[in-house]
Structure 1
Amino acid sequence: MTFSTLQNLAFRLSVTLFFLVLFSGRISAQDKDSIAIQYILKGKSFYKADDYEKSITYYNKALALVEKTKNDVLIGDIHTKKGHAYLLSGKNKEALDAYDKGLSMAKKTKDLDQEFVINSGLIQVLRRMNRLDKAHTIASGMIKSLDQTSFKNTHNHVNILTTVSDIYLAREQYDSVLFFSKKGIEVSKNLDYKEGLVDFYIKKGMIFYYKKEYDKSFKYLFDAQDILLEHDITNQSFPKVNINYFLASSYYEKGLYDKAIEILHKTTDAAEEKDVMKPPVIQSYLLLANCYGEKKDFEKALYWNNEYVRLIENYQKDKDETLNSIYEKDAQKLKSEIENLKKEKGENIKKITFGIVTLLVLILIFIVFKYVKKQKLNKILFNDLLEKINQLESNGAIDVKKESSKEIIIDDDKVVEVLKGLTRLEDQEYFLKSDCSLRAMAKKVKTNATYLSKIINIHKEKNFNDYINDLRIEYALMRIKNDKKFRSFSIKSIATEIGYKSDYSFAKHFKAKTGINPSYYIKNIQKQETSFETV
């Protein structure tokens, strides 16, 4: 008889005993807690098997029992485990709600270790919602107070380093990711913690992919894959998807489209309904479309692109709902603080409460005023921008910010040749390449980086980075306006298409040049096109 069989038998006997005691009318709080623990263990076994739906079912059964016994420690533990299950199944809003309840219990019982576990999951939700500043604040606090917990040099220490690395990865601070990955690998090896090694090897593979060092990327990704194949590691589906995506991405960059397609189909073929809300799975559909596009198989390219668009719309809906939930919880937290203040201070608090409420009302009025004002300003900026595009479209250039009109006299043959070379590269849209750099461009126009930088400063009246960013934003403005299919892409996909490594960088430069966010521009272009079609 195997250990698994014995475990199932013990669980069934415990449940049978529970119902015998229940119907005999002599069930005690201790009995309920004991059965709840059996449910938790059963839920945990399904969690390890990647069956998150069944896992949550058993956690809910346990929760129904311990809520009657008011066992705050078990209640907090169950909510935390539910949060983890929801997180790995891609249900961000449900994960946020579960973590919030678990955090309340952890604070109530003053369990700092439990707070750390919950915050690790909470950071992942915030990262997915692009609330990187808030996630970074929580992560920094965890690192500073790690010595106050029992986690030092344990599996949870590795998990915390993993969580912190995720934030730096999202913020494109790659040197920080490599720093924490090195520490994480060291601790994981000392503990023989295979899950930790897999995660950090994947992260290093990702970093070297972003740095375009594909051979190094392959090394770490294959190291991670070997560990998954050789060891019985729980929750393998998510690391497998990540490994497949970045292996395929590296093959795609090297022009090996068939290899990329073969790997990506491993993800799409194995993906269940519960998996399709995970970002790496969604991005795999887009990469498949790009691979087939490069192979000139446009029928399949269109199919996978349509699937990607469908999934990204559902993901965005879930993301919006989760963000609303985050804001609601922030407001509820403020309300709870006011209520606690009332209890502590009694009648005297009425004046303070009135002042706080008044201040909140004023803040709310101010926020509404600023919002309305911002919307009006955005509309003005959008209309001005559109007018400039329409006026200058025939010239092939867009002044998103007014440039100096002083004339420049060119009397140096070398300068003339370099400027001609820049014009040629602009016509070839070289600036859309993600590896477009000052050194690379200088090589293209047959000069050195220092000389090219000076020419751009003098004759383009801007530094190199502003020069490239202006060209990219001008291109994006024009193509979004005129290309309906391009307009349907996600912000991240558009950013990648025009040479940016992240949607954050693209949005930052777009707003700096136009005064509005790319999402606002796309939405209003779409509205305008729809209104024209209606007319």
Structure 2
Amino acid sequence: MILSNNRLFGQYVLFMLLFVISPLFSQENDEDRRMINKAREMAFFSPNEVLRLTDHLLKKANTADDYVTVYLIEADINTAKGDYDKTAESLFKANRLINKVNDSLKAEIVFHKAFLARTLKLYNQFDNYIDYVKALEQNEDEASLKSYINIKLVLEEANMLIDQENYNQAITVINTLDKESKQIEELKLSDVYYLIKAKAYKGLEKYEESYKYYDLASASYLKDHKSTNLLTETALVSGTADLDYFNKDYSAALNKLIRFLKRLSDSENNYLLEKINNRIAMNYLGLNDKENHLKYNDAFLSYNKNVYDLETSAINSAYNYINEEQALNLEAKENSLKVVVFSALGVFFLVLLFGNLLYFSNKAKKKRLKEIIGYLEITNKLLVDSVDKVKSISPKKLSIPTETEQNILVGLKKFESTVKYTSKDMSLATLAAQLDTNTKYLSEIINKHYNDNFNTYINKLRVNYIIEKLKNEPEYLNYKISYLAEESGFSSHSSFATVFKSITGIAPTVFIDMLGKEIHNKKA
């Protein structure tokens, strides 16, 4: 499949879509549905071009089904671009119409939300979405849709198990679909099915089995999809390159990865660029090519910073949208309650009394919900864990001499007792130089002992530092947020506020207000 040819084909199809698609696509005739399906598939091939098409489709939309279809295409476009912030926005717009669309679209909305939750590691929300779809499946009367939902459920749950490195269970779950191979093929989900098996066997270090399923996934992908999906291709290339790396065939891995990196030259997706540059750097390290290792590792670190910023922003957006969804649900219940109350006013006084009690009860629940929603699903973003909580060493991690590891840990403890982390110039390379070690060792030890990457480690120290200042030096409660950001080492007011909320679960202004009231009450 040649990218330039695909691009020309995509532009031709877009041209035809814009001028041929019927204004009445809400009638859902076969030709219009084919056009919409083509636009959906091309979202992962030519996102910027398809984005122009969605504006056209929104103008032609007449029903809730029409609008949701376009919003889901928008979500796919933003996912292809690695902009999960906008993905969340599109999905929230779709979700506002979820009670007005057919069961098929209901399932698609929630599957998209489950994918986003899994990607952002919002595991509690992922479970909630899966439970919703399971309930939808149980109540579904249409056999074909019921089967489709079940297949998608199994694929999502197996992917989640792989994300959590539970490879044996992932294989057990995915194998339940072995008898559904014909329908999986008809739904053009064979590449996803085989990819899951390939990743699971790779995790179990059964490399021959993994190679086999990567080959099957690649063949299914080429057969079922005329348009390029860079997310799928990245999974295929990085997966097989990993197998080459594990077999110490670094040259073969580099040949795949560097060739694929050129295909990503026009991509805006920092997640994909981070993944490929990281693997290239590791393979050059395997060849002891320090110059190229440094070159691609620097690129990886640059994309890694972008990914961290994008992910933090997306998580905050997801929290906000979850909050809004809960508020809208409560508001809908309250409005429904009001109708019942007012219709019963002339019938029975006790109904009015009972209705008012429920109304204020719901209002109190809504207020409480707003207070706690920011705390949901951030267990992986608490303040810095104790160094004594050591995770077991994965066999694929770097092998660091025990003495070196202990020296670095001692150095980190000394570093944490200073305020050097508040320097805006602090970086992984800078700290590694101060501790007289290399970035790989330092990054590995932070990951292992703190369960965080370097950026999160530094940001937690900074947030913890400013919290201690606010607690112990009351004058800090009167300082502007911009000063607190500067004091703790953040580059801007907005980045400080975003990181503070992602770690503590509440905005700095709210935290300062709460702390001020607590101090005042203690004095009183």
Query: If the TM-score is normalised by the length of the shorter chain, which range does it land in?
Result: 0.5 to 0.7
SS in 1 for 2:121: coil
Deviation at 1:79, TM superposition (A): 1.4
Provide the TM-score with structure 1 as the length reference. 0.64
**Amino acid in structure 1 at the alignment position of 2:231:** F
Match of 2:481 in 1: none
Offset of 1:258 from its aligned partner?
A: 0.9
Identity of aligned residues (%): 12
**1:289 aligns to 2:289 (yes or no):** no
Within the alignment, does 1:208 sit opposite 2:201 as a pair? Answer: yes
* Partners of 2:65 and 2:105 within 8 A in 1: no
Larger Rg: 1
Distance change (3 Å), C-alpha of 1:225 and 1:487: farther
- Contact kept, 8 Å, 1:283 with 1:308, in 2: the verdict is yes
Who is 2:298 aligned against? 306
Residue matched to 2:167: 174
Aligned to 1:485: 429
Q: Structure 2 unaligned runs (5+)? A: 1-8, 343-351, 376-380, 416-426, 433-439, 466-485, 490-524
- Partner AA of 1:167 in structure 2: M
- SS of 2:160's partner is helix
CA distance in 2, matches of 1:434, 1:321: 33
Q: How many residues align?
A: 415
Offset of residue 312 of structure 1: 1.7
Decide which of 382, 385, 388 is 1:400's aligned counterpart: 388
1:194-238 deviation per Cα after TM superposition (whole angstroms, max 9, x unaligned)? 842222222222112211222222221122223344565554432
Partner Cα distance (1:63, 1:329) in 2: 22
State the partner residue of 1:522. Answer: 458
Q: In structure 1, what is the Cα distance between the partners aligned to 2:178 and 2:76?
A: 23
Q: Does 1:97 align with 2:89?
A: yes
Distance 1:237 1:487 in 2: 35
Quote how far apart the aligned CAs of 1:366 are: 8.5
In structure 1, the partner of 2:348 is none
| Alpha-carbon contact 2:428-2:443 (below 8 Å) kept | no
**Aligned partner of 2:395 among 424, 431, 434:** 434
- Deviation of 1:96 after TM superposition, in Å, equals 1.7
Alignment correspondent of 1:318 = 310
Matched, 1:113 2:136: no
Matches within 5 A, 1:367-378: none
Residue 91 of structure 1 deviates from its aligned partner by: 2.0
For residue 49 of structure 2, what is the aligned residue in structure 1?
Answer: 54
- Within-5 A mapping of 1:364-513: 400=388, 434=395, 477-478=409-410, 484-485=428-429, 497=444, 506=448, 510=450
Q: Give the deviation of 1:145 after TM superposition.
A: 4.0
Q: Match for 2:79: what amino acid? A: L
1:336 aligns with 2:328: yes
Tell whether the 8 Å contact from 1:43 to 1:56 is kept in structure 2 after alignment: no
Deviations 1:329-383 (A, max 9, x none): 22212332343244233386666555555566677778999xxxxx9x95xx88x
Residues 1:95 and 1:362: Cα distance change in structure 2 (over 3 Å): closer
CA distance in 1 between partners of 2:98 and 2:394 (Å): 49
**2:205 is aligned with what amino acid?**
K
Equivalent residue, structure 2, for 1:422: none
Counterpart of 1:45? 38
Tell me by how many angstroms 1:39 deviates.
Answer: 8.2
Deviation at 1:158, TM superposition (A): 3.4
Q: Which amino acid aligns with 1:225?
A: S
C-alpha RMSD over aligned residues: 4.7
Which of 232, 236, 241 aligns to 2:234? It is 241
Unaligned runs of at least 5 residues, structure 1: 19-29, 370-374, 386-398, 402-430, 437-467
Give distance in 2, aligned partners of 1:231 and 1:368.
42
1:165, 1:273 → 2: CA distance? 31
Q: Give the match for residue 492 of structure 2.
A: none
Rounded to whole Å, the distance in 2 between the matches of 1:197 and 1:284 is 24
Q: 1:324 to 1:226 in 2, by over 3 A?
A: same
Residue 74 of structure 1 and its aligned partner are, at CA, apart by 1.2
